[in-house]
Amino acid sequence: MTTFEYDVAIVGAGTSGCYAAATIAGAGYDVVIVERKDEAEAGHIACGDALKGADKFPESIPKSQIEGSFTNTEVDHGQFEIPQENVVLDIPVPGELAVIDRYEYGRRLLEGAERAGTTFHYDTVVQDVRQDGDGRVRGFDATKQGEHRRYEADVVLDGAGALSLLQDKADFEGTTFDTNVRYSQFSSAYREVIEVDEPVEWSDALVFKPTKRSAGYLWYFPRTPTEINVGLGFQMNEEPMRLVADLREDVRNRPELKNATVKDKLGAALPTRRPYDSAVAPGYMAIGDAAAHVNPISGGGIAGAAYAGQYAGEQAIEALEDGDVSERALWRYNERVMEHYGGRYAALDIYNIFSTAYDLDDLIALLASLPAEKLSDALYSGSANVGLGLKIRVLIRSFGHWDTLKNLYETKGLADRLLDHYETYPSSPGGFPEWQRKRDRIMDDIYAKTGADAKY
């Protein structure tokens, strides 16, 4: 068995892993990224390819390094199709937005991390986690083409994506690390990149569409006017969908996509849950999808993963400099995630919970009656203010669904209360249990109000 020793070992060469590596290597530390794909395939990841916040990225791999992968910067709104109500909602999207070539983006991340001094071990599959008797993570075991390898590091960063194997193997008893994670809190998704003969009219929009199933959704993101990223997914707590067949059927039924040819296809799991309450343990931090740093409604996770990588990288540097990789020493990473977007994502997840308690047709009819600008506010900020005049308009348009509407507004109040609570996220592990208890009481109120089954 070959043994490798590094200051920091990172599992996964995705967005969070590359940004973390570039941050740490740029400070002069020895960093390795262990990636299960081979060198040619690395960077090829199933993704919606829509990048919200395209103007804001950490400087360890700056925007100038990755913007060559931006293939469509003309998109400025969402287009939500509701065939059951014969309605199309135009939803403004605040901030800069781009659709990217995900493989080219991934390759540029790899180049940026390597330029900073990161070592890459491709075609290497992690098998187990190495821990001390006191629970501190010391590294992991892996194989490369049948060869057994051991990685030893002061800090391990888990960027292995949703449903990470590392978290299945590690023993987090006695730590704050979030183990309240279940298969049903994730979605299964499939996407294709298709090419069509004629430009689509909606090349400046991200197109969304509910499926006929309560937890299914479709998306059409134009990389160019003739190259479209199309995808479909379902919540894993629901009956599985025939992802490929259902997607192809919808593509065939759209006249503008006639004679579409498939250029690429891939599947993945993604979190549709709140961010982990704590993503740290002694010697260990989870980053990006591996800590559910994803907008649970839109599925957008690229920008969040980039900043999670930066925050974890900076915390690892501080821990290495102090010679202390305890949970307390790594805690500031949790705080920064919650301050930046974690609380907002947790509030957005309440609307996912709300949706599980109602009939699909009722929800879609209600959605069709809501103002697009307020949907935009809720989608990206986790909250939206509604004045008296707007309430009257909504009441008129939502006739027949007033009970659901009333519960939605009451749920919004509880989501706002939850968002406020996340602003009190503790500054050390000592305050964590009481913070969780108060948060869980808010969640109990949300389940009682919505009638939904407990998600956590």
Say if residue 402's pLDDT is above 50. no
Contact between 193 and 228 under an 8 Å Cβ cutoff? The reply is: yes
CATH 3.30.9.10 in the chain: give the residue spans: 184-271
Question: In the chain, count of helices (H) and strands (E)?
Answer: 13, 18
Identify which has the larger pLDDT, 192 or 48. Answer: 192
How confident is residue 96, by pLDDT bands cut at 50, 70 and 90? confident
CA-nearest of 266, 298, 233, 302 to 80 is 298
Q: What is the pLDDT of residue 80?
A: 83
Share above pLDDT 70 across residues of the chain, in percent, rounded to a whole number: 86
Q: What is the pLDDT of residue 216?
A: 72
Of 139-153, 177-191, 434-448, which gets the smallest average pLDDT? 177-191
Say if residue 86's pLDDT is above 80. no
Of 121-130, 236-245, 297-306, 422-431, which gets the smallest average pLDDT? 236-245
How confident is residue 376, by pLDDT bands cut at 50, 70 and 90? very low
Q: What is the mean pLDDT of residues 173-199?
A: 93
Domain 2-73+95-180+273-340 sits in CATH 3.30.300.30: no
Q: What is the pLDDT of residue 163?
A: 87
Q: What is the pLDDT of residue 336?
A: 98
Identify which has the larger pLDDT, 235 or 126. Answer: 126
Say if residue 126's pLDDT is above 80. yes
Q: What is the pLDDT of residue 300?
A: 85
Say if residue 366's pLDDT is above 70. no
Q: What is the mean pLDDT of residues 138-148?
A: 97
Please state, rounded to an integer, the average pLDDT across all residues of the chain.
Answer: 88
Among 54-68, 72-86, 122-136, top mean pLDDT goes to 122-136
SS3 at position 265: strand
The topology under which CATH files domain 184-271 is: D-Amino Acid Oxidase; Chain A, domain 2 (3.30.9)
Of 242-256, 323-337, 438-452, which gets the smallest average pLDDT? 242-256
CATH 3.50.50.60 in the chain: give the residue spans: 2-73+95-180+273-340
Cβ neighbourhood burial of 203 (10 Å; 0-12, 13-18, 19+): middle
d(CA 48, CA 299): 8
Q: What is the mean pLDDT of residues 37-59?
A: 86
Q: What is the pLDDT of residue 289?
A: 96
Share above pLDDT 90 across residues of the chain, in percent, rounded to a whole number: 66
Instruction: Name all contacts of 123-132 with Cβ < 8 Å and 24+ positions apart.
Output: 123/35, 123/36, 123/37, 123/38, 123/39, 124/34, 124/35, 124/36, 124/149, 125/36, 126/11, 126/34, 126/36, 126/160, 126/165, 126/166, 128/169, 129/156, 129/166, 129/169, 129/170, 131/170, 131/171
Q: What is the pLDDT of residue 392?
A: 40
Q: What is the pLDDT of residue 393?
A: 42
Q: What is the pLDDT of residue 389?
A: 42
Q: What is the pLDDT of residue 406?
A: 60
Structure-token pair, residue 69: 């992968």
Say if residue 381's pLDDT is above 90. no
Say if residue 362's pLDDT is above 60. no
Which residues have CB under 8 Å from 211's CB, separation 6+?
A: 217, 218, 232, 234, 241, 246, 250
pTM value is: 0.90
How confident is residue 55, by pLDDT bands cut at 50, 70 and 90? confident
CA dist 325 → 37, 153, 226, 354 (Å): 29, 11, 50, 39
